[in-house]
Structures are given as C-alpha cells and as structure tokens.
Homo-oligomer: A and B are copies of this chain.
Amino acid sequence: MLCIALLCLSLGSITRRQLVGYSSAAVSYLPIMENVKTKASVYIATTVDGYIADSDGSVEFLNQYQSSASEADGDMGFADFLNSIDLLIMGRKTFDQVISFGDDLWPYGDRQVWIWSRNPSVVKIPQIRSSNAVAVSAAPNELMRIAQQKGYRHVYVDGGTTIQQFLQQDCIDDLVLTRVPLLLGEGIPLFLKTPRLSLEHVSTKSYSNGLVQSHYLVKH
C-alpha cells in the first residue's frame, strides 16, 4: 500500500532525515480517558485516478517525483501529522511493506502499532518491533472503542482495505489526501464500495512537484 510515509521516504534525504527516529509520543501508559473522543485520520497519497498502488502493490511510480521535489516542499506536513499521532492501525500488507524498507526507514518511532488482519496468527512482527507492534482482528468500531478506553487520542489509519473498512463503519474523522499528478489506469483503489459520506473541505495546498494535498473532515 502507498501511504504518505512511503511517498515521503521516496522524496530524498531531506525528508528522510525529518522522518526517521521520531520518538516523542511514547504512549504505552496513557491514563484511561473514556470521555475523550478518539480521532481517526487517513493520510495517504493517491494518483489523480484514485489508486494508491499498482495492481501488484508496488509504488514504484512514485520514484519520478523524487527528483522533482524541492526543499520548499518539505515533507508535506507529514512530520507534524505524525507528531499528533499516538496509535497507528494499519493493514498487514502495509506493515509488511514498511518493514521491508528496513528499520532505518521505519517512520513511526516507538508509537504503538496495531496490525489489522483477519488472521492475526499469520502476522510476522520483527523482534525490533515486538515492543510496540501487535496484531489485532476486531471490527473497526470495536478497535476504536478499545483505543478510546486505552486513552489513545489520535489514530492514524493506513492501508487500502483497512481504510475502506473503517470508512464503512464511519470510523474515520478526517482525510488528508495527496494527489499525485498521474493517471495510473489500474491498480489498488483507495475508495471501493465505501458508504456515501459528506466531507467538509478544510484546506488545499499544492507543491512544486505537482502534488496537491487536500484536508477533509468527515461529516458524521
């Protein structure tokens, strides 16, 4: 799956230095705050025709934007977003892909990661991630209920199928969508059989490498 983290990682060393090693939001022992609504966000790049990866899951088509990114583009707000996150819920395929880049490029510091899978027993978690990653299989609304009970405040939901399932249960509060200037033609779509949901446009920003990032709130 193409998450914005992977895109940022592909944008060169400036961005990479900004991303790697974040560890400011360790959340292992947060107090229980049942009355505080836990927010769930999507932060992802798609092609103009709505794909987040090639049909085989590859995101090699992003490489062409590496050379065209300028320092002014920065990390397209990803570090600020990540700083607000205290829990990631990501699909197994996305987790496997991020792991495949090696631990030097693990973007999420020691934040807690829930790897969402229908069959948690098959999820392989490397030793280096064993302290902050765990496989889970509950339904999205149940996961969000547990996250709230545990005191997490802001969840980053990532991975195509995971995002679709969370949208289907109206568990997403906002989306930051970054449009890559490309028609891919076929691949893995971000949106597929999601319910009808009205959005509120918050802001849009365009970057020198042709990427356009829009922030939307979901109207529940």
Chain B positions within 8 Å of A186 at CB level:
193
Instruction: State A184–B196 Cα separation when bound (angstroms).
Output: 5
Chain B positions within 8 Å of A167 at CB level:
183
Chain B positions within 8 Å of A190 at CB level:
49
Chain B positions within 8 Å of A195 at CB level:
183, 185
A17 within 8 A of B: no
Q: Contacts A48-B216, A214-B212 given; indicate if A181 touches B196 (C-beta within 8 A).
A: no
Interface flags, A164-186, vs B, CB<8A=1, else 0: 00010000000101010111111
Chain B positions within 8 Å of A181 at CB level:
198-201, 216
Q: Is the CB of B194 within 8 A of A204?
A: no
Q: Is the CB of A196 within 8 A of B182?
A: yes
Chain B positions within 8 Å of A216 at CB level:
48, 181
Partner of A206, one of B50, B193, B200, B201: B201
Interface flags, A201-220, vs B, CB<8A=1, else 0: 10110100011101010000
**Chain B residue with the shortest CB-CB distance to A203:** B206
Q: Is the CB of A185 within 8 A of B196?
A: yes
Q: Contacts A49-B50, A50-B191, A214-B212 given; indicate if A197 touches B177 (C-beta within 8 A).
A: no
Partner of A212, one of B185, B196, B200, B204: B204
A24 within 8 A of B: no
The number of chain A residues with a CB under 8 A from chain B is 34
Q: Is the CB of A197 within 8 A of B183?
A: yes
Instruction: State A101–B186 Cα separation when bound (angstroms).
Output: 35
26 A–B pairs (Cβ distance < 8 Å), ordered by A: A48-B177, A48-B191, A48-B216, A49-B50, A49-B190, A49-B191, A49-B194, A50-B191, A167-B183, A181-B198, A181-B200, A181-B201, A181-B216, A183-B195, A183-B198, A184-B196, A185-B191, A185-B193, A185-B196, A200-B210, A201-B206, A201-B210, A201-B212, A203-B206, A206-B214, A212-B214
Chain B positions within 8 Å of A206 at CB level:
201, 203-204, 214
Most buried by B among A182, A183, A203: A183
Chain B positions within 8 Å of A179 at CB level:
214
